[in-house]
Structure 1
């Protein structure tokens, strides 16, 4: 059915998007964003997959691989802090395409590195591109899908990271014996370059960004007609309830995160995500070691780790589905609280049986469901003018938690802490994360989407 709007009629782009069904356009957008996140996951895990062969090939001790293994994480943090905010100034589309091409180029270049220093530098630059990709992808997806399915759509897209890690592991098992470790980096570099051309051809600019930045009405109408080809929007005036008032439109996105309206929420998001990644990275990096130290055989702890990631995929989708039906803040706080409960149970009763495997899967479900949903929540909390920046800075702060979790696990193992004691301790940061989100909920009790959080709607004519 065609929609015809009278010339000069004001059209709220968010209401227009929310009225649409999930169309072929949304499917194409979802696939492009899913592939971007999947390649991010593949490339992020690449160095861990090739490290043993690299150490043997270059005849270097494994403990000297620390800088090159951490270079990507550092680059991701820098990219999130410094590059992603450009998207709130010049647009999501251009920054996303540029970041995908950037990490593709440097991943390809890393395949030809001849020294540890050169490889470390190239992996740092690769990380910068990766750091700008995730927040822009999550924001674009969130700004194009109807509010009724936004949580599920964005979380479903973020499952791509786990899928990329899985594909990377399978590819590495085939590529490295046949073609050497450099082939993994070549594939991880060539694929983003191909994807960048697809994004250039099919990826639209965010309609809400175009409204907030004063783009021509004709361009906005063309973008909306990709969602609803039969809509007639000639001569309409486009506004967005999520659009910041004109006096705030030129403010630095970073300053907006720290403004009176958003400061408490920003700090609570940072605290929650920091604590979240403390738990997630300690488990991801040390669970096989902890299980082995508790008497598990290689097949047992390998299978348990795989089940953990399977539970993670289910949890991400479940959390997204619930966020579309309940308060997102309460859903994620509940997942963190359940994580605390499960790790406490593990800490008090370790058994080498199916019961422990079920508890590990439950941990993956609740913890990863909460972790991925934090990006979705950030895109809903911040206004259009600082949405990418807000998501990116939260992700960057979280990287500090990832470092703390990684080194914290090593420290606790050096003190000869047992598996159960370490898992039980993880209840503390999980509960802190839940508490931070509940405080965010008190600060923004009606948090459902950014449209309800921006205060006075602004109607601007372009």
Structure 2
């Protein structure tokens, strides 16, 4: 088929409707992110039960609350370069197996030490799964819908966390805290069966790594049958991409370094807010006078707010993406501050928590789309994964930050005032990125043809 035309992969995706095959990929990635959110947040919802059953102080919970976050950070940092070298599909499936098995085993922990170790292993799998799901989905998206689709997919994370809160509020009184972890471990293992059968490798990855043209053609023909006539495939990238550079070198290159650092900083600060809230809000609300069940239910409204990311994705595809997300972080800072002043009224408290959740999770859920658009294919897996991985240290910092503030006897309002500062910093970071890259946003990922052809 050497006489047949060369097909530009991204142009092909842009010119054809979003097919059932692409929606299938979306569904699988959405469920992965949903389970990621459930398993990540589960420890915060069972924390009050751990204090009661094992007779420990809340300060003793800091290691177990942050163990998965350490795993998430290291899992993402190491998985990113591996996915750029070994492929998205294999690493994604392996990571789901790891966090499923580890979460299931966590239900049988006999003490805090065992639970901490297993939560770290769970985090390794979760940390590898999230960026690979974002990357593989972004590489099957048309430019005009990339931010919308990725943000919609990323809504699975806060929805999974919120679902975990509502489910935990029912499971724990009836079956104990271990049932939450059993559920969180069983679902990923069932999903692995579907992934093995139906999940394809990224076509952009296949082109970038000169995979056989027959495999690329077979995948694209499931989107539209016109791909069967292609004799070769080429790709578009953002500007010039040096094909001799490693994936890590691309992310740290002069062209990308400022943007990389600002993405890391914004995501870091967003997770300071998220994990400060998701891990400690049930405990703080209980100590502020709410019952344990009501504290858990109110806290579940925070991650539920992530559904706002869909609208944000639409706005990012139409307007300046960095500025849209920066505004969300700025408003997040205001709303988090207000949580600390609403505890005396359950109605106002629920409204404040939900509003903060909408704004914070909208901003945070939009960050993978920013990163996926910012980097070329050669470094996309590493770029997205490192942002998620380095950002996870913000979650660790958030968990220990609240513990330290509580130790220093900060008031409920004082704790949330300090946490709100992180939103201001994230807002500034994205405005700095916009200043350095005024023309680079999610809607402008297409560029010149890359000197990369598969025949």
Same fold (TM over 0.5): yes
Compared with structure 1, are the counterparts of its residues 239 and 305 closer, same or farther at alpha carbon in structure 2 (3 Å cutoff)?
same
Query: What aligned pairs does 1:416-435 form with structure 2 within 5 A after superposition?
Result: 416-435=409-428
Query: 1:454 offset after TM fit, Å?
Result: 6.8
Query: 1:63 offset after TM fit, Å?
Result: 5.0
Tell me which of 431, 435, 438 is aligned to 1:438.
Answer: 431
Structure 2 match to 1:323? 316
Structure 1 match to 2:191? 195
Contact kept in structure 1, 2:374 and 2:442, CA below 8 Å: yes
Query: 1:333 offset after TM fit, Å?
Result: 0.8
Compared with structure 1, are the counterparts of its residues 259 and 103 closer, same or farther at alpha carbon in structure 2 (3 Å cutoff)?
same
1:307 pairs with 2:288: no
Contact kept in structure 2, 1:447 and 1:453, CA below 8 Å: no
Is 258-267 or 394-403 further displaced after alignment?
394-403
Compared with structure 1, are the counterparts of its residues 367 and 49 closer, same or farther at alpha carbon in structure 2 (3 Å cutoff)?
closer
Contact kept in structure 1, 2:212 and 2:454, CA below 8 Å: no
Structure 1 match to 2:236? 241
Compared with structure 1, are the counterparts of its residues 349 and 304 closer, same or farther at alpha carbon in structure 2 (3 Å cutoff)?
closer
Compared with structure 1, are the counterparts of its residues 33 and 459 closer, same or farther at alpha carbon in structure 2 (3 Å cutoff)?
same
Compared with structure 1, are the counterparts of its residues 430 and 178 closer, same or farther at alpha carbon in structure 2 (3 Å cutoff)?
closer
1:261 pairs with 2:279: no
Contact kept in structure 2, 1:296 and 1:352, CA below 8 Å: no
Distance 1:243 1:89 in 2: 20
Query: What aligned pairs does 1:32-431 form with structure 2 within 5 A after superposition?
Result: 32-51=28-47, 53=49, 64-114=60-110, 116-173=112-169, 175-176=171-172, 180-228=176-224, 230-242=225-237, 248-291=242-285, 304-310=298-304, 312-343=305-336, 352=345, 354-355=347-348, 357-431=350-424
Note the alpha carbon deviations across 1:408-437, whole angstroms, 9 max, x for none: 223333344334444344443222211111
Distance 1:233 1:286 in 2: 54
- Count of residues paired in the alignment: 455
Contact kept in structure 1, 2:169 and 2:296, CA below 8 Å: no
Where does structure 2 lack aligned partners over 5 or more consecutive residues?
A: none
1:21 pairs with 2:17: yes
Query: 1:28 offset after TM fit, Å?
Result: 1.2
Distance 2:301 2:387 in 1: 28
Note the alpha carbon deviations across 1:350-402, whole angstroms, 9 max, x for none: 87375554343322221111111111211111111111211111112212212
Say what the alpha-carbon RMSD is for the aligned residues.
3.1
Contact kept in structure 1, 2:146 and 2:442, CA below 8 Å: no
Distance 1:152 1:130 in 2: 23
Compared with structure 1, are the counterparts of its residues 451 and 205 closer, same or farther at alpha carbon in structure 2 (3 Å cutoff)?
farther
Distance 2:332 2:33 in 1: 25
Query: 1:347 offset after TM fit, Å?
Result: 6.8
Query: 1:142 offset after TM fit, Å?
Result: 1.2
Compared with structure 1, are the counterparts of its residues 450 and 201 closer, same or farther at alpha carbon in structure 2 (3 Å cutoff)?
farther
Distance 1:200 1:56 in 2: 41
